[in-house]
Amino acid sequence: MTATVSDRIPRRAVAGYAAGSVGTGGFGTLPGLVLAYYLTDTLAVPAALAALVVIVPKVWDVLIDPAIGALSDREARTRRTRTRLMALGALTLPVGFIGMFAAPGGLSPALAGVWVLVFFVLATSSFSLFQVPYIALPADLTGDYAERTRLMAWRIAVLALAILLVGAGGPALRDGAGGDAGGYLVMGVVIAVLLLAGMLATVLGVRGAAEGHEPTLPTAQEPGRTSAKFAEYRAGVAALRELPSYRVLLIVFVLQALATGVMLAAAQYVATYTLDDQAALTFLFVALVGPALLVMPWWARYAAREGKRSAFALASLLFALASLSLIALVWAPGWWVYLPVALAGVGYAGMQLFPLAMLPDVISAAGRERGGAMSGLWTAGETAGMALGPAVVLLLLAVGGFRSSTGDVVLSQPDAAHLLIVLAFSVIPAALVGMSLVVLRSYRDPIHSPTSAKVSP
């Protein structure tokens, strides 16, 4: 179907929306990649306590995301925009982000963990203010099915570049600045500025672009402002209960977010303790994310021919098989690891593109007036999955007897810890994605399915 003039998204809005992936991709990647390692191998926080530090802010995030979604819907109704919350999140995120990597020297491991916890809570709160309305925007910008795929293709292309730049460049900045606590601070400052620039570019780029597509939220509830707010909050839960396509897609996305979170958190430990080279993290990350820059157009064309669901399943299967092969690191660590990681990266590109291209279809089927609430639950699910990833790795390390240390000391680790590090990088992500494939089989396109229907208010 060809987009009408009114449905065609302006280039400025496409570019602005894509730029936001610098913020979402960077914040979604770097803490999951290095924060657990920063806690255990620079601040000497025991693995079990470090697991608590990385998961508590995300639990908080899960709790506030639906409420932020409701606020986003109120803003869309009263101001015909979602950008005020996004601007607030963008401007406050650098404070929490830099603070996470600025723990003062001389603190005990427990106090250092508390320091990181407080600033991580601040950072995740700011990120939610931006991310939740950001996810709801595509359904506001256009009602055209193909235009949303076009918008998402550009977004995911920038997302892949941002993840590559931040995920590979962040650790490189850290290592170039000495690799110790000072190196982490340098990394935090530089990346925070980059995240701020990308997020503000979105606020400026999409402002006014959704006029004519704004959600038609009801105003009759206005006399009871509090009850209206909670009615919007419940809208996402109702969609989860009543719209099977939304429920299936969210479960798949959460399982894959958890798989990705586990793999990313394990990567630094694989580099240091399996490959005996802390700097190898940069090359592992390039191998995983780099292919996305090359294959994203191919995935978009394949989906146009075969459908988003089929393309999503193929990408997930490729990722699972490639990840499973990495179990061979237990017996033969070496340079060959970059080849299956690159194959996993081809699948990872599709796993990033297709859920985000399918979500606006689901929101349109449910009614765009619930876009903020539904995207709030979506962000909460993604946050939960990505948060549990590092926590799973840290708990495995604790079970394996991992020994935490400061940045200038590298301790030998027991065999059990070495084995669990590899399992977290290979078998566990493969198993989680395999589970998501089973769930994905029941997904039905809500736009093209003859049995689809909107969720009742």
Phi, psi (5° rounding) for residue 243? -110, 100
- Between CA 33 and CA 44 the distance in angstroms is 17
Per-residue pLDDT of the chain (457 residues; tens, 9 = 90+): 444 444 577 788 778 888 888 988 889 888 888 898 999 889 999 988 998 998 888 788 877 877 887 788 777 777 777 788 889 999 999 999 999 999 998 899 999 999 999 999 999 999 989 988 887 777 677 666 666 667 777 777 787 788 888 888 898 999 888 888 899 999 999 999 999 999 999 988 877 655 444 444 444 344 444 444 455 556 666 767 767 888 888 899 999 989 988 998 899 899 989 998 888 888 888 888 888 778 877 888 888 888 888 899 999 999 999 999 999 999 998 889 999 999 999 998 889 888 877 887 777 766 655 666 677 677 777 777 777 888 899 999 989 888 887 765 667 888 898 999 999 999 999 999 999 999 998 887 765 554 443 433 3
CATH homologous superfamily, domain 11-204+224-440? MFS general substrate transporter like domains (1.20.1250.20)
Q: How far is CA 439 from the centre of its chain?
A: 20
Where are the domains positioned within the chain?
11-204+224-440
Phi, psi (5° rounding) for residue 405? -155, 170
Phi, psi (5° rounding) for residue 451? -100, 0
What one-character-per-residue DSSP string does 2-33 give?
A: PPPTTTSPPHHHHHHHHHHHHHHHHHHHHIII
Q: How far is CA 153 from the centre of its chain?
A: 16
pTM given for the model:
0.75
- Between CA 210 and CA 345 the distance in angstroms is 34
Cβ distance 287 to 338 under 8 Å? Answer: yes
